[in-house]
Structure 1
Amino acid sequence: MAYEETGRPIALLLPGQGAQHPGMAVELYGREAVFSAVMDEFFTLMGRPGQRLRADWLADRPAVPIDDAATAQPLLFAVGYALGCALRAAGRHPVALLGHSVGELAAATLADVVDLPGGAAVMLARSTVMATAPSGGLLAVGATPAELAPYLGADDDPGGVVIGALNAPRQTVLAGPEPRLSAVERELLAAGWSSRRVPARQPFHSPAVADQARAFSAVFETLPLRRPTVPIWSTRTGRVVDREQAGTPEFWAGQLAAPVLFWPALDALLADGDYTLVEAGPGQGLSMLARRHPAVRAGRSAVVPLLPRGASGSWDTWCAALRQLGSAPPGATRRAGAPSPS
């Protein structure tokens, strides 16, 4: 059988909060050997919380809602990291990594800034600190930051709404605590702006979680932080992570309260060269954003998601992506104790 070869180097895109959905990548568990082994290793490293997380991931009715940070964040990290490992095992090695929010921590682990035990410790700490965060959330708006300025608080106001992410031109995410976020949502509706809630229960990437970001830094102080073995295009800075940043605990912890500069990072990456942008995570949200970039629209770069938008069809999408990337899809493997794929 012939396999299509893209001819471009691979840049891996790793999604963050909002991409999660029930059943994400579950069809691969027990069928794709490397993915399954890495997921099991991560759950084991997480200890008792990992076993609860695994049970919720595989359950039809999880005990903790998927949108809660205690579930969504470690699962997004684990799925992204495990897909990256499985892709490498299939012979396709990314030469660049770009992660959105918690996806940047998965990128750091794939690039060996921390090892997987360190990554599990980071995710446990992230869940712990975010359990103390105020109620809030994220709001995606089809507008520019300048157009949204009248609705925003000061950059250091923990009670205000701020820019939480720059995802694309005229695609901005607001972040902040309640009740102010809901008030801004109503104000935008009254002014004729379209918006939608991003599935999140905490005000990530806003001053409301500045205290949590400072507390989060403590876990990085306990870990050896190494220079990335693969370039990471940071969505905190919009540039490649340098040696000094990689070794600084605050750099990694501070992104919890800092805006996500996805589009600036993607723009800088694609100015550096032509790539096949491979999304390693659920939902295809980053794929949809990347397809808006002029380099992709012009055909110089391409986009390949490894998973479908929903739970159904994960195995078929994975196999099709490997064919498109020039790798033979693996044969299905069953492991004791793994669920049968739906």
Structure 2
Amino acid sequence: MGGVTTIIAVALLVTFGAQMAASESDVEVAASKESPQVPWYSGTSNQLSAWYFGASNRLMAWYCDASHQMLAWWEKTLKPLTLHSAERPLEQAPIVYCSQPLDTLKIFQQIGQQVLNQEQALNRIENALSVKEKFRSVALIGPPGVGKTLTATALRQYFPWQKNVQTYSWTTSVPDAEQKFLHQFANQLSDCGMNLLIIDDLQSHDHDVVPSNNKLLLERVATSNKIVLMVYIFTLKTDSYWAQFEELQRRLPKQMPLVNYRIFGRDDLKDCLKKELVVMQRELCPDEQTRILGKALDRLHYAGCKVLHPLILQEGSKIDTSDASICSR
């Protein structure tokens, strides 16, 4: 587009330069034309007026003729070229936006900056969503507070086709609400880019919803150009974690990857606390950090790193970094 604009500008400058040169020549010709004969007794002023009137008429006639020539040149040459060059990017933009590949490498590099100490899980999710299939599903499985929902939230944030993303928090308190939502999502699938559906807050006993959901969406994409990415998030109880995990392995579709998030310990809590303080823009004295970590460790099995944010607000005091003695008081 920039090259075409430059060509047009140069063409206009050359053309107008030629026209200006022609105008100067014609003015001289018009001025040199013999003026209408005016009797000598009419005086010099009348003779000059008659000469000026004749020259201006000739100049106006030339201007009208040159304007018509320029207009014809614009309509036949420059205007079609300009419109063709301007419209081409507008026509190509939606095509490029819709057909761009899903850059999972870049997306999960960004997610890895937010989700701590789950590198193996993130690598497995990236691989699961990178396969060349029209329907791709993956289950994120782990205890509370280890980064499952944070992963899905970041995936939604960096997903290129934002209008094609839906998130649903699973609940059995409203009859048929889930099926209504899923059918609505299936009916609104877009063939521009990919579609992402995230279903969160699933428990181990909700395993039956996965085969039925996958079947419905597989049928929708089978005879279309639509692509669907399905992410299920299962939160398991820590005290019976491995028994629930093995149950899911037996019940969930064999071809669907199950990504297990590792259970956090004290060192992971320290990393989470450090990150949370940066996000909250707070500083804690060493004794406050020790007290918060102790309380968080007591709740680790059912809250994970989620417990840190409210504990910092309740137990911690924001300190003035200019006062170095505040932690010793």
Q: Aligning the two structures, in what range does the TM-score lie when normalised by the shorter sequence?
A: under 0.3
Larger radius of gyration: 2
- Which one has the bigger helix percentage? 2
